[in-house]
Chains A and B, each alone.
Chain A
């Protein structure tokens, strides 16, 4: 073969490669040139029959041809693939503004959320969380808590009772979470540091009262705890809970059968339009009742009031939720209106804790 015919062959093949407009056509060109029976392969076979001088000349020439053609085919192949992908992409357009599949957004009820907020705060102060039954007896709900025999709270007018049993006793729905104080003190040796969240019940139903509501009580019993500790603990609590550093507090003497001395705690606030703002203003709002555990209560639990002492307090969870989150009506808490649950509910990812702040 002449060098000129190699050039001619290369020109022919290059023209074919250029002309191939599909991957199949290109493959055909590759087979016809580089396949076992292709023209370049056939030429390569002739090398064996050549003189060594001829071979010296034609060998590199043919190999060069083979490589250039293979390269050209590969280049063309890539170009064809790119073109094919471009064509496919051009046809694959969708409307990405279409909506995703609907998912329901779950919510946590404010009572649960606020209870967990309160638990987070008192946990950090070393309080355990205690609880007890909603259906109680007279001893745990009244007698042990130093309610006198004929206290009006023991009347059907104020307390829910069940039908009397054969022995004349009757169970009742606890009117506060205080029975758990009794249950704890009777079974656990001081030091005691607990909070008690739970459902409570009173025969009351109007604008601002519901027959069921939620309380959190606290109880500290040891040999030193005094009203100064009570004050320090509750002041720290309200500041942390309302997430405001300078909430003003005020303690006023009051009366409860189960504490002595007894007090109510007020916090300072100001009403701005419909909003209640804490940490400013000159008005006072009662927020909880508290006091030193009455010696009779300690005695009723088998504790010597000259050896042990401590304090207790009780507050309304629903009311705290209303105040913190500006929820207007208590009755809505228990109405299960989906619009309300959605509006005032919390994201389940918002697990109250002190490291991120109690709320978003």
Chain B
């Protein structure tokens, strides 16, 4: 919303400087976005006087002028027909930027005659459309005086953000009211004076609504003005409109724009001679269409409020008038409409049609219903003043909405909610200044003014008082201590994510944050297909692009794509991870926290031997490290070879606690990579952090005593031959179980197939650590343990000792 300083002063009697006005606007909640002072733009332009003008020796239409300027006498070549000796002009020196033609002046030679500067037209200075001649300043203007001041172009324009709760500030009068309440001056908004009509309005109006949709247009006032003469509006009005970026059209249109910005009251003026029969406000009908003032045809439906005559729709209520009944310079008789349209319906119609207009902007936020009659009176007076004619009586149909909004209020509420001490007298003064009517019973009964649809209850009144007092007066208070000793602030799940994140970064992986969305095709590769996504409600109805069409069932596709994007920029062999949600469905319990990582195949060359960054066991190690950090009992995990289908079937695994799956890891399926157009091999893991069982709360932080034996541990190696599909983990577990007390560690240090090992078999070698507990073991004791190791291995895997 824009207005000029002079416009504000029509409503506010104030001596305050512009800067102070802007400051107070911000303090009361009218956030100033920009202040533009046209005088700044016209700084370079000063008054000059043409001393002498003669025809250019080589051009019929040009004149060579001698001009008195602040820089002394200058020779300027000018093509304006009105350039002549004796007039005062707007002088632009060499070096000045001329906004209207976007040119910075330099010394010029025009058809052989030197020219130092320029004499400007109104359009060149963006002060109007006139370009038929140069500006002629008043004769009494002094040479060297700034053009802006002399021509009245020194009226600053203030642009501020209107919050949705304050439709009243869509009018300059509303801004002035706030500023007056804040002590910046006196509110002097003129009140509307009734125009006496010369008889009943012959234009009939009808509200044709079913009872349940009456609120679409509850009240409609109209009046005829006959014998008008439409033409350009007065200069003051054109200047104000132009200053706020509106183009003056003609007096009748300019009046409605003026009312919109001066009083936040949109009206419509019809050419009465173009109206056919009764004007009806009704809901639209399917199939109807309407040619709007903007020259476009719009489809109407049964949700829209339409203004119609016998010819059909001639307006969309509160949004835009029609082309066929609009006013032109030839208009003789007019019908002025001043109605109330339902904000919700107006907003919907606006969104459906895509029409943005000052009327829609105001009606959808709520105009002051009590200003229907004053508004039409004021507009009538302006029409009579500018266009003449005589007005009929006002015809009002329907009932003007008068919502009774009285809030029971005690002034102590201000202190309760804001902590500010504001005396009841000051509370009363502020509310009264803002238009509230107070009846000082206990509690107070405070009636909201008709222009404040946002006021609902006590808190709203507190805000009114607080913003006028100013938030800079809020005390700075510290929240009292909650409890003497603080308990942990993170939930177990939050802490797991933190720990997994730092463990993975500690392993050299880089944390990424990728979209929660992914391409539907990518998503389908990492779950049970497209139908699964749809059935689980994970496909967006309005994605921003097809790339981001579904919620991700896994982070893997996003990270894999990131690897490729980086590889395309020669960032190869990366290890990326993300600790973030994945989605198994649209319910809160289906929001799952995952820690997922990928490594792109690459070898780093090194003089001590090349380093392989990515393979199945690298990502298995990643997964185990993150699980351990997140508190999973990694010693008890089982590994199975049944990872989901997006992994390589032979090179992937699942880390589980019985039936509970904690992680997948392995090589990404080559077919999946091919479908995603990814080069090279990718290895990945995904950990489901929420599935880690929560450890038991211990009664004490004390750890059990250290049981460090005095006796030296000893090691024995065993090589077993097993079928090649026997899982190493099964063998290790069996060996470990041979003596749970004395065997403290089993390391698998060799896997061998080839010469010496039968076809279909493999050799697995383990180093077993035996820790004597109470006494040194004899050879016979050790022999016994070894026998049990061999027996256990044989029993669980069919292993034979390799000889």
Contacts and interface: CB of A to CB of B under 8 A. Distances in A.
A171 B501 CA distance: 30
Contacts of A132: 588
A133 B490 contact: no
Interface in A116-166: 116, 119, 122-129, 131-135, 149-150, 152, 155-157, 160-165
A155 B541 contact: no
A107 B505 contact: yes
A119 B497 CA distance: 14
B512 A129 contact: no
Given A211-B548, A229-B419, A163 B537 contact: yes
A345 B509 CA distance: 11
A109 B482 contact: no
Contacts of A109: 511-513
B483 A126 contact: yes
A129 B348 CA distance: 39
B356 interface: no
B790 interface: no
Contact of A348 (B506, B580, B613): B506
Contacts of B516: 134, 173, 199, 201, 212
Contacts of A255: 29, 163-166
A191 B481 CA distance: 12
A336 B416 contact: no
Interface string A170-214: 110100000000000000000101000001010111000001100
A148 to B, nearest CB: 8
A133 B712 CA distance: 55
Interface stretch (B102-110, B236-244, B471-479, B659-667): B471-479
Contact of B474 (A160, A251, A254, A295): A251
B402 interface: no
Nearest to B479: A229
B477 A226 contact: yes
Interface stretch (B40-48, B333-341, B600-608, B775-783): B600-608
A280 interface: no
A296 to B, nearest CB: 8
Interface in A321-348: 333-339, 341-342, 345, 348
A170 B479 contact: no
A228 B419 contact: yes
A162 B541 contact: yes
B494 A129 contact: yes
Contact of B489 (A103, A128, A131, A296): A128
Interface string B533-568: 010011111111100100100000011001001100
Given A109-B513, A135-B551, A135-B591, A295 B537 contact: no
A171 B536 CA distance: 11
Interface stretch (A12-20, A45-53, A62-70, A257-265): A257-265
B517 A212 contact: yes
A105 B471 contact: no
Contact of B476 (A228, A262, A263): A228
Contacts of B580: 199
B733 interface: no
Nearest to A251: B471
B537 A227 contact: no
Nearest to A198: B581
Interface string B450-469: 00000011111011001100
Contacts of B501: 108, 112, 348
A251 B459 contact: no
B439 to A, nearest CB: 21
Contacts of B415: 226
B700 to A, nearest CB: 24
A263 B471 contact: yes
Contact of A133 (B538, B566, B588): B588
A225 B131 CA distance: 63
A225 B419 CA distance: 9
B502 A348 contact: yes
Interface stretch (A3-11, A21-29, A73-81, A231-239): A231-239
Contacts of A232: 475-479
A116 B544 contact: no
A16 B90 CA distance: 121
Contact of A341 (B28, B511, B569): B511
A338 B571 contact: yes
Interface in B2-60: 26-29, 31
B509 A106 contact: yes
Interface string B160-203: 00011110000000000000000000000000000000000000
B308 interface: no
A322 to B, nearest CB: 14
Interface residues of B, number: 99
B476 A235 contact: yes
Interface in B403-430: 415-420
Pick the most buried of B511, B565, B607: most chain A CB atoms within 10 A of its CB: B511
Contacts of B27: 252-253
B147 interface: no
Contacts of A250: 471-472
Interface stretch (A32-40, A84-92, A94-102): A94-102
A150 B420 CA distance: 35
B41 to A, nearest CB: 22
B21 to A, nearest CB: 15
Interface string B484-513: 001001110010001001101111111111
Contact of A253 (B28, B475, B481): B28
A161 B540 contact: yes
A98 B607 contact: yes
A58 interface: no
Contact of A233 (B165, B479, B543): B479
B416 A226 contact: yes
A204 B548 CA distance: 12
A305 B413 CA distance: 12
B617 interface: no
A220 interface: yes
B606 A102 contact: yes
Interface in B515-541: 515-517, 534, 537-541
B585 to A, nearest CB: 8
Name the residue among A109, A150, A333 with the largest chain B CB count within 10 angstroms. A109
Contact of A119 (B163, B490, B571, B608): B490
Given A212-B517, A251-B471, A261-B466, A193 B510 contact: no
A102 B604 contact: yes
B683 interface: no
A267 interface: no
Contacts of B551: 135
Interface string A265-294: 000000000000000000000000000101
A205 B511 contact: no
Contacts of A152: 347, 351
A211 B418 contact: no
B344 A252 contact: no
A309 B416 contact: yes
A296 B459 CA distance: 10
Contact of A171 (B491, B537, B576): B537
Nearest to A249: B476
A250 B501 CA distance: 36
Given A336-B558, A338-B574, 20 more contacts: A105-B508, A107-B505, A109-B511, A122-B489, A126-B486, A133-B588, A133-B591, A134-B583, A135-B537, A157-B351, A160-B541, A212-B516, A226-B417, A229-B419, A253-B471, A254-B163, A260-B460, A263-B471, A292-B459, A338-B571
13 contacts: A106-B508, A107-B510, A108-B505, A135-B583, A135-B587, A152-B347, A161-B540, A211-B515, A226-B416, A226-B477, A232-B476, A233-B479, A261-B418
Interface of A: 98-99, 101-109, 111-112, 116, 119, 122-129, 131-135, 149-150, 152, 155-157, 160-165, 170-171, 173, 191, 193, 199, 201, 203-205, 211-212, 220, 224-229, 231-233, 235-236, 250-255, 260-264, 292, 294-296, 305, 309, 333-339, 341-342, 345, 348-349, 351
